[in-house]
Amino acid sequence: MIHGFIKVAAATPSVKVADTSFNTSRILDLFEMASEKGVHLLVLPELCVTSCTAGDLFHQQALLDSAREAVNSIANGTPKNMVAVYGAPLEVSGKVYNCSFVSCGGELLGIVPKSNLSPAEKRWFAEAPEEETAVQIGDFIVPMGSTLLFKNNQVSSFVLGCSSGLSDLDGVLTECGATVLACPETCDDYAGKLKKVAGSLAHESSRLFTSYVFSGAGDGESTTDLVYSGFNIITELGEVLACTSRNEDSLLISEIDTQKICSERRRSGRVYSEPVNDFIEFNLENGQTELTRHITRTPYLPEKASEKAEACAEVLDLQARGLRRRLEHTRTKTAILGISGGLDSTLALLATVKAFEDMGMNKRNIFGISMPCFGTTHRTRSNAEALVQSLGCSFMEIDITDAVRQHFKDIEQSETDYNTTFENSQARERTQILMDLANKYNGLVVGTGDISELALGWATYNGDHMSMYGVNAGVPKTVAREVTAYYAQNLASESTRETLKSILDTPISPELIPGKQETENIVGPYELHDFFLYHLVRYSCSPSKIYRMAVHAFSGRFNEQTIALWLKTFIRRFFNQQFKRSCMPDGPKVCEISLSPRGAWSMPSDSISHIWLEELEKYLNFS
């Protein structure tokens, strides 16, 4: 359960109507199966001890007595390192309640009677009492109440509540701290029902900043009027982690990230109440949960092709909208961009073209400036010119070699010493030209740097770091690639499409020194850095947790040593380069995160990274 990952399971035992002995044996079989798979929380259906379709047999004393004995046996048989939730009828003071029982390690922890009963259920069951009471089951004397909360002593973010059919009570439980809601249900089936229920659970988990483990009745229930298909669903913060039906006597397993839920609650600014009652505490071994849930390598965009295309179109539109507003406000008719033939300047140009098209402005007033120097290749230079011209913009080439050489002479920099000064002098010369051209043509310098470069500080201070509007400031490098590919496939003319394909096939490089210079060989793969950035900023994950998720997500792509190496690099650069972000130009937020110092990301420029690096190193040594 390190990092707050709780392995949960929903299961539907095959039952026989009113046969508590048979049903108990099936439940205990599932307990054993779940324990072998390292499950921390197992949720079984409502009334699974007796079956939910027993009808008027729920009034029979023989069935009620047998159910009470069965619950005692099931509680005693609950594995040591697992908490289980299961349903049975319970008679208390002459009233019969539809209850969820919570047990752990051979002990019964508490009883949660169902509230929000349907008219049909009221034929057999009483509404949950308003006051908590103590109830004896075998040797156990435990509390019974609809708002009981169960807290794990080893992982404080794991607080369990029992849902009562997506009622208002769920809001009360989450307001009081529940991060996981067990949802034992009956849930009859009909065409399209599973999708509807899963959607409702996902929506509620998003609205309430929580998770649901849902288990519905299945095989063996009476089909006199209804069919039960054994719905099992696990959701977290609006996402369906796992979902199945017709899954009797097997487990639906995933991992719920309780730390992530708590992080979202902190970010939401909502004020959470103290629990109505004291937490009921339970113990589980705090080992490392094996991850089986899907963790996407590309957290900024959907993985499904059609949804990804829609998201790419939206990113481009948001970029263009932001730039359009800035052009309108400044009454500027001209845009100046440095065009290198690389990915970032390409996307900035595409967004600028869309802004001009949306405003009905002449695209000839977009000036794409190529400024070749020592490391510029023929391929990128020709791609830059071809792209600008195919889009109907104005192309201009200004060779900066002589100007940079003069600068080297002025500051006594050797042309054969490929140091930082050698590289940055070129970047600053290019920015000076762009700024002066903007003055000359009464235009706006559109920045091309993306959020991935801002995170790593991979930009020359007061060079390509600076512009009058950073249209890519909210776009990660991996998203820039996807948006450019989307444009090539869906919006580009044939000539533009071929140029864009060539640009997409070109390795990312600053081209500041002669010969081959690939950025990702220097600072690391952007797909890793974008993953690190998302989980650090969006969910405030610790470095060790980011590492662990990356190892799982990029299995088969990068090995553990590679991920650890580049994560350390990312942490060091992210902290050391904040000073560049503190004075970054305006630019639109178009994805979930932003590093703008004007409210999106507030971080002192002299923050120290050693706590984060030590936390990662300690975990790597431990694991």
- By annotation, the residues acting in catalysis are 46, 114, 162
What's CA 162's distance to the chain center, in Å?
25
In whole angstroms, what is the distance from residue 113 CA to residue 127 CA? 8
CA atoms within 13 A on the CB side of 611: 4
By CB neighbour count within 10 A (0-12 exposed, 13-18 middle, 19+ buried), where does 8 fall? buried
In whole angstroms, what is the distance from residue 623 CA to residue 619 CA? 6
3-state secondary structure at position 607: coil
Helices (H), 471-609: 477-490, 494-504, 519-522, 526-539, 543-553, 560-576, 578-582
On whether the CB atoms of residues 474 and 320 are closer than 8 A, the answer is: no
On whether the CB atoms of residues 179 and 8 are closer than 8 A, the answer is: no
Nearest to 444 by CA among 465, 470, 474, 475: 470
Nearest to 139 by CA among 73, 77, 199, 214: 73
Two tokens, residue 611: 């706590």
3-state secondary structure at position 214: strand
On whether the CB atoms of residues 473 and 449 are closer than 8 A, the answer is: yes
Q: Residues for the chain: how many in total?
A: 623
With both helix axes pointing from N to C terminus, report the angle between 560-576 and 543-553 in degrees, rounded to the nearest 10: 140
Mapped to the 3 state alphabet, what secondary structure does 97-154 carry? EEEEEEEECCEEEEEEECCCCCCCHHHCCCCCCCCCEEEEECCEEEEECCCCCEEECC
In whole angstroms, what is the distance from residue 527 CA to residue 534 CA? 11
DSSP output for 469-498:
EETTTT--HHHHHHHHHHHHHHT--HHHHH
In whole angstroms, what is the distance from residue 536 CA to residue 573 CA? 13
Residue type at position 122: K
Q: Which secondary structure element, helix H or strand E, spans residue 41, and what is its range? A: strand 41-43
